Structure 1
Amino acid sequence: MIMLSNSSPVDILSLSSLEVQSKYIYPSFIFGTLLYLIIVFFNLLVLLTIIVSKKLHKPMFILLLNLPISDIVGATALFPHLLFSIITENRHIPTKACLTQALFIHIYGTGNMMILSAMAFDRYVAICRPLNYHSILTSKNLIRIIFLVWFINVSMIFSLFMLLTQYKICRADVVDLFCNYPSVLKLVCGYLTWHNYYGIFTNIIILGCPLMIIVFTYVQILVTCIKTNNPDGRRKALQTCCTHVLVFLVLQINTNATYILHRSQSQLTLLRKAFGMSVVIFPPFLDPLIYGLNTRELRQCIVMFLRRNVGSTK
């Protein structure tokens, strides 16, 4: 049984101040707008290149296709309201809009974790069990993996927020620069025992399971690479895996640092806000650059895609 406070529900919330001086409002708005456009452009570029290039219609790139989709969701959940609040100097946000922003930001974060786990499994099969690669990663199995990634992601995050809506939000001051689950949870009134249990279970699934999958697969890959007698094959395998590990570490370190700082009631407010923003900004910005630059096959197809489409407009 959920017990609620007698406090009236709050309809308008106040986000933490950006502390942007008046002379920096327009430069900050322009910089933020350009950053958002760059993120969307490069992620769309990777997305469209994979879609139109038959050469890239392979399990690794089909799985990678989901990453820019997730990154665009995360960036779009953050930037439009952030830019609006910069230019208007208004940090208020309706409660429903705050919950919606938090929902999509967490769908983005969880989605990235699970997509990277699926990509790690693909590399594990390709390097450790190459003879069985095409029999394991068939088109049907690939569709099943992608469906499972998005189903687990959306269903778990959506159910977490549906449970949250059963409580009254009776405080108005959001402790972060944007709405996320930990900051919204601090605004509710009532006994949160069962909700906290479900939250811990959700974190184990969406943070712990991807971490275990990636650690297991890359340990196996590293062992296989050490044992192989083909130096060129070893180099290519390690280069591909290093790309995945780098992207995963950027997301994992920022996410866990933010979570720990929220849970520990730390006074390092500025650090917590910085980590929180970096979770939503750096992965969407870096992912297409890392994969585009370090994956030769994708890089070549991006160049061909740009030449073909830019040339056709002249």
Structure 2
Amino acid sequence: MLISNHSGAMTFTLLGVPGLETQHLWLSIPFSTMFVVILMGNGGILFLVATQPSLQTPMYFLLAMLMVSDLVSTLAVLPRVLCLFWFGVHDIGIKGCLVQMFFIHCSSVVRSALLVAMAFDRYVAVCEPLRYSTILNHTLAGQLALAALAKGVFLIFPMPLLLQRLTFCRTVMPHTYCDHMAVVKMACSHTKPSRLYGVFVFLMVLGLDLLLIGVSYALILHAVLRLSSRDATLKTLNTCSAHFFVILISYVPALFSFLTHRLGPIIPPHAHILLANLYLLTPSLFNPLIYGIKMKEIRYKMPKCLCRRDILAINPGHKNGSE
């Protein structure tokens, strides 16, 4: 049966995890746990950057923007997934589906662009340390964040527009959220433009962004190898380690998710859907942990900030008394 979506009244039925429908309640336990950890971890770093004057630098501003993009991605996915698991809310309107898809993919593109900006930050810190504050000031950091947002909006906005022109012959979507390729596979009309545009976005994100990050780290490595002191070399590499680990957990799952869409029946459906969820949630889950461990400013200030809030909560007059 052909279903036109021009009226905007049609709905998709999100199946959830194919083959594991009876296990949705059990699956909700790790998903809800991840939701709480993501909100606390990303929200905690945002609070720390906003309230600690020593962290209000361009580098931490870019980090805060990364946390925001992770939160947007999580909020676009997990509340809907948990409603499906807990309450069996499977239906989603075509407009709601396209809006969810836009925010999911836009936040992923913004995250990738911010990682490029942070690679540039590390390049300046290592290769131009004496000019760091001159080159990477708050104005440039703001411009880089705006450029990342603009890239996400302009790259992803055509996706829902192309999908609105399609005719759908299926409405049951074997997925937990409205992924671009999952929606494309529901259509029975000419989907080649949407598929080609999806590949174009993939190349612009994983291709171009990884190339720019690779160039930055090649220049960093070249500068590090010229250092005569082994201690100085290790210290310099350590300043880039957090960003390097974040790159791995951001791009490796994304690459696997992209490939599983093209491998078709080789990958079991439930494995593909779970991987698609992990691709979105893994960076949001581990980014705060990585930066909390690897960046001493956050590692030292977070416990102090929490302890101070606990003391003030127990004894509101403590602050005034100490002054």
Using the TM superposition, give the Cα deviation of residue 172 of structure 1 relative to its aligned residue in structure 2, in angstroms. Answer: 0.9
Q: Is the 8 A contact 1:103 1:180 kept in 2?
A: no
Label 1:54 to 1:225 Cα distance change in 2 as closer, same or farther (>3 A).
same
Q: Is the 8 A contact 2:184 2:191 kept in 1?
A: no
Alignment pair present for 1:21 and 2:22 = yes
Residue 232 of structure 1: aligned partner: 231
Using the TM superposition, give the Cα deviation of residue 152 of structure 1 relative to its aligned residue in structure 2, in angstroms. Answer: 0.8
Post-superposition Cα deviations, 1:165-220, rounded to whole Å, max 9, x if no partner, equal 22233321223332111111111232233344433332222221110011111121
Q: Percent identity?
A: 27
User: Once structures 1 and 2 are overlaid, which stretch shifts more, 83-92 or 243-252?
Assistant: 83-92
Amino acid at match of 1:95: I
Q: Is the 8 A contact 1:255 1:275 kept in 2?
A: no
CA distance in 1, matches of 2:271, 2:32: 24
CA distance in 2, matches of 1:233, 1:120: 20
CA distance in 1, matches of 2:301, 2:134: 26
Q: Is the 8 A contact 1:258 1:276 kept in 2?
A: yes
Q: Which residues in structure 2 correspond to 1:129-278 (within 5 Å)?
A: 129-268=128-267, 269-278=269-278
Aligned length: 308
CA distance in 1, matches of 2:265, 2:53: 50
Structure 1: unaligned runs, 5 residues or longer = none
Q: Is the 8 A contact 1:107 1:154 kept in 2?
A: yes
User: Once structures 1 and 2 are overlaid, which stretch shifts more, 182-191 or 12-21?
Assistant: 12-21
* TM-score, normalised with respect to structure 1: 0.90
Amino acid at match of 1:99: L
Residue 310 of structure 2: aligned partner: 310
Post-superposition Cα deviations, 1:235-276, rounded to whole Å, max 9, x if no partner, equal 232123222121111121111111111123243123322321
User: Once structures 1 and 2 are overlaid, which stretch shifts more, 115-124 or 134-143?
Assistant: 134-143
Structure 2: unaligned runs, 5 residues or longer = 315-323
Q: Is the 8 A contact 2:58 2:141 kept in 1?
A: yes
Post-superposition Cα deviations, 1:96-133, rounded to whole Å, max 9, x if no partner, equal 22222221111221122111111011001110122332
Q: Which residues in structure 2 correspond to 1:93-104 (within 5 Å)?
A: 93-104=92-103
User: Once structures 1 and 2 are overlaid, which stretch shifts more, 46-55 or 99-108?
Assistant: 99-108
